[in-house]
Amino acid sequence: MKKVIVLTGAGVSAESGISTFRDNGGLWEQYDVEQVCTPEGWTKDPSLVTQFYNLRRKQLLQVKPCQAHYLLAELEKDYHVAIITQNVDNLHEQAGSSNVIHLHGELMKVTSSLQPNNEKYIRTLDAENPEVKIGDLAEDGSQLRPFIVWFGEPVPQIEMAAEISSLADIYVIIGTSLNVYPAAGLTQFVPDGCPIYLIDPKPVKWNSNRPFTHIMKGASEGMKELMELLKSKKIAT
């Protein structure tokens, strides 16, 4: 089967009701991004950061995958699909996608504040107990912190994402501005001649000479159109 590699951003989760820090209103208006999404913010006030992510988890538990999430999972019937997501929610997994790479971490996981990327210390929280308290420790004795890649931190999964992008037979980009690096640089690894489909309702400035098909719709409506396109072009599986 052909390989479909999908890069997803906030525009997918937004259809499920999850706001981002670029949106007006909601949880993000109550907090300064520098205070809750940077290592410096964590060092200065871990209690505030812990409270913020407890609230974000509660918000996540109140939403469901949108149609785009389910359609992406459905693609696995006909293609080998890998999803590279900038989103920290688990909505792709909830919808049934089996191969998801989280570039920016996962909201429902916590880890050591001393060795955040050591798999030995990463712990998954459950829906019944999604909160973390100051004093909750990882196995190395450090305070548990969100398993999130904050601004200014390296992106551990970016090399794997680049390698997977280089294997694409079809490349799909949904709900991301292509202005957030290093994720925006992944398209340079897409093989020459590989068709690229961009789903976004707004005009997108893309600093690349690569030809692409722009489906100017939201994530769910755009995914419907993409699936029809794939069928009509009879792209072999």
Residue 104 is a catalytic residue? yes
Catalytic residue among 69, 92, 102, 104: 104
199 three-class SS? strand
The amino acid occupying position 144 is L
Contacts of 29 (CB under 8 A, 6+ apart): none
- Paired tokens of 9: 């951003």
First to last CA, the chain: 5
Query: Which residue's entry shows tokens 């570039």?
Result: 103
Instruction: Report residue 133 CA to chain centroid gap.
Output: 25
Contacts of 58 (CB under 8 A, 6+ apart): 130
Cα separation of 150 and 159, whole Å? 18
Buried b / exposed e along 109-144 (16+ C-beta atoms within 10 A)? bbbbbeebeeeebbeebeeeebebeeeeebeeeebb
Q: Which residues are catalytic?
A: 104
